[in-house]
Amino acid sequence: MTSALDLIRLLRPKQWVKSLFVFVGLLFGHAWGDTHLVWRVVAAAVGFALVSSCVYILNDIADRDADRKHPRKRHRPLAQGSVSLNAAIALAVCVGVAGGVLGYYASPIVAAMLAVYGLMNIAYSLGLKRVVILDVFIIAAGFMLRLLAGTSGVGIPPSQWLLLCGLMLTLFLGFVKRRAELGDEVGDKAIQRKVLRDYSTTLLDQMITIAAAGIIMSYSLYTLSAETIEMHGTSLLMLTVPFVMYGVFRYLFLLHQHQQGEDPASEALQDPHLLVTVLLWLVATLWLIAR
């Protein structure tokens, strides 16, 4: 019998933390005082969370036979048989439709972005996940759609520097994920993602280094730009750069010393250093731009 807990596990609620990208526009666009706009952004964030859960369920349906052979994925509800196929399909339809409705409430543009996100992930599952490098760019595109939904999607003009920083951050997380997967499954070719056979630790380390440098440089330039200083009324936003640097370096430490990085959402919540760093960055940023 299917339990409520198994259905919740199927939704992967830990991954909903990715929807925080939707709130970047509210933070840096000084739009938190507009109640109606705030609710539209919240609707967009919840919409992305639900549609992403729909995508995860569809992936689990498609991969359930392969997951049964994987040492960790075999514990997923569909792979272990604790959720029936019909129940999974029904849940996917419900959360997908609910997410689309919330997206349309935010704006028709956000609804369109959700549709693009869904179609892109279907294409990813059908074959693009096996195309080296492009697979990571598709993962990054999912994050960027969230960021754009919370800015352009609800009428908040996005900063080009922040968009570039967001792209660098999401590419960084994507390449770190592949690096962690490669290190974790290097001894067992039978369970390895096919695309990992086209990567090497050297190649991924180079890409990670480039993306990490891109995060720090683009965010630093954002804090120093004349447009940013004029918008926020302060030149002190550069004081938040050390938090960004520490967060990047801490993530690299977790990757190389603790073989983490495969699940950015969970690890960001579980590592106290990362969690405190993000909170300190948020508090410092809010204090500097809202005073």
- For the stretch 89-119, pLDDT in tens is 899 999 999 999 999 999 999 999 999 999 9
- Answer yes or no: do 149 and 212 share one domain: no
Spatial contact of 46 and 19, defined as CB atoms under 8 Å apart: yes
- Quote the domain boundaries for residue 275: 159-291
Per-residue confidence (pLDDT) for residue 136, from 0 to 100: 94
User: In 10 A of CB 216, how many CB atoms?
Assistant: 17
Domain boundary among 132, 156, 180: 156
Per-residue confidence (pLDDT) for residue 22, from 0 to 100: 94
- Answer yes or no: do 110 and 170 share one domain: no
- Answer yes or no: do 233 and 119 share one domain: no
- Answer yes or no: do 145 and 28 share one domain: yes
Spatial contact of 104 and 168, defined as CB atoms under 8 Å apart: no
Per-residue confidence (pLDDT) for residue 142, from 0 to 100: 93
- Answer yes or no: do 152 and 184 share one domain: no
- The domain total for the chain is 2
- Answer yes or no: do 45 and 150 share one domain: yes
Domain boundary among 156, 186, 217: 156
Q: How far apart are CA 54 and CA 114, in angstroms?
A: 11
Tell me the CATH number at 76: 1.10.357.140
- 27, two tokens: 């933070």
- What is the mean pLDDT of each successive set of 10 residues along the chain, which is 291 residues long? 79 89 88 89 96 90 75 76 84 94 96 95 87 93 94 89 92 92 61 79 95 96 91 91 96 87 75 92 92 70
Q: How far apart are CA 226 and CA 194, in angstroms?
A: 46
Domain boundary among 135, 156, 177: 156
- Answer yes or no: do 139 and 182 share one domain: no
- Answer yes or no: do 182 and 278 share one domain: yes
Per-residue confidence (pLDDT) for residue 271, from 0 to 100: 87
Per-residue confidence (pLDDT) for residue 37, from 0 to 100: 93
- Answer yes or no: do 116 and 42 share one domain: yes
- Answer yes or no: do 188 and 145 share one domain: no
- Answer yes or no: do 110 and 191 share one domain: no
- Answer yes or no: do 163 and 151 share one domain: no
Task: Record the pTM.
Answer: 0.87
